[in-house]
A = this chain, B = another copy of it.
């Protein structure tokens, strides 16, 4: 089945927003075994949208539209597609009721135009919107066998509707109960090209399951996808492939799933070990702690720390001797190790990490931009590491944070397994 995606909205064409919905939908449709051959973005204009639909109908089996389902006059996707496929608009019972309930509960006045959001095609199916009021639509043209999906534009609404309402619909298109099962493996500390090299024979042999590597910022993922009529045997094939992959690159693996991140893995590791973490940051100026605090529930393991950007702050907040500091230099093993030890001692955390380095644009203490010293004070002593990250002030800071998270995760895992 070949698909195309049509995003409707003038704000995309004037460069006000990025068409990230097309990216999301492409990735999701690929996971359902559906090939996407075109993306189009078109403005809120009946004539131009109709022209785009005419072209799309000639070349695609599935046309996914997003945007323009709201209550304002420039939301005209539903009306335009209805006209194009000669469908009458009728109220979706469930969507109509949700809309009525929403306005009754919120005590806000409901204007007439809001009701437009509950309209669907007479011979189509409404798709409920878990995060909004605009109902989605699925419709099959019984003559041309073209399938239409109309989805809302706000990404929060689109994603929730896709996961809950669209995926079950798409699974109807598969041959006799065939389904796709995916598993995402996440790796830190190995580049995409090396990962692909290590697994080259597995990737070349792939048929079912397939292996798709993706390079993300500072990490790589592998998506394993199996096509199967039976969930148990599908999972068994995935288990076998995963075991072969792990035997080669398992030391870089940190977790499963599309949305899991290295910081979540680190917080989970700290929680499981029931230990706490503090930090003293120089070049990252709080970015490590901000990254931790972005995870709900991080407060169970992360209590706080220091931002010691200037040498004077390192001396006063972390009680370091200013003369000694001038002698060893702030971008040094001695300095970060002392920073970590003092942070651990003052905060009484179980672990404390320290960062110092050269984020640029200028070099510092004769060390080139990108040089970063990290130290981790643990219950069993202090470990440290010097890394040189590629240029770009924020890229260096971000790379240092990721390296630090992994340093914490691995040390806690090692200490915890020893303690058992």
Contact = CB atoms under 8 A, between A and B. Distances in A.
Contacts of A147: none
A36 interface: yes
A42 interface: yes
A309 B316 contact: no
30 contacts: A12-B22, A13-B37, A14-B30, A14-B36, A15-B22, A15-B27, A16-B27, A18-B19, A37-B48, A38-B48, A39-B39, A39-B42, A40-B40, A55-B55, A283-B293, A285-B289, A286-B305, A290-B397, A293-B307, A294-B394, A296-B393, A299-B309, A303-B309, A303-B312, A304-B308, A304-B313, A304-B314, A306-B307, A307-B307, A316-B346
B309 A293 contact: yes
Given A14-B27, A310-B304, A317-B347, A293 B299 contact: no
Interface string A268-292: 0000000000010101111111101
Interface string A1-22: 0000001000011111111101
Interface of A: 7, 12-20, 22-28, 30, 36-43, 48, 51-52, 55, 59, 214, 279, 281, 283-290, 292-294, 296, 298-299, 302-310, 312-314, 316-317, 346-347, 359-361, 393-394, 397
Q: Which 5 A-B pairs have the closest CB atoms?
A: A285-B293, A286-B286, A15-B27, A15-B26, A286-B289
Nearest to A286: B286
A411 to B, nearest CB: 21
Nearest to A19: B19
B307 A286 contact: yes
Contacts of A290: 284-287, 289-290, 397
Given A287-B293, A307-B279, A38 B30 contact: no
Given A286-B290, A299-B309, A316-B346, A24 B15 contact: yes
Contacts of A48: 37-38
Contacts of A17: 23
A48 B4 CA distance: 12
A40 B43 contact: no
A106 to B, nearest CB: 15
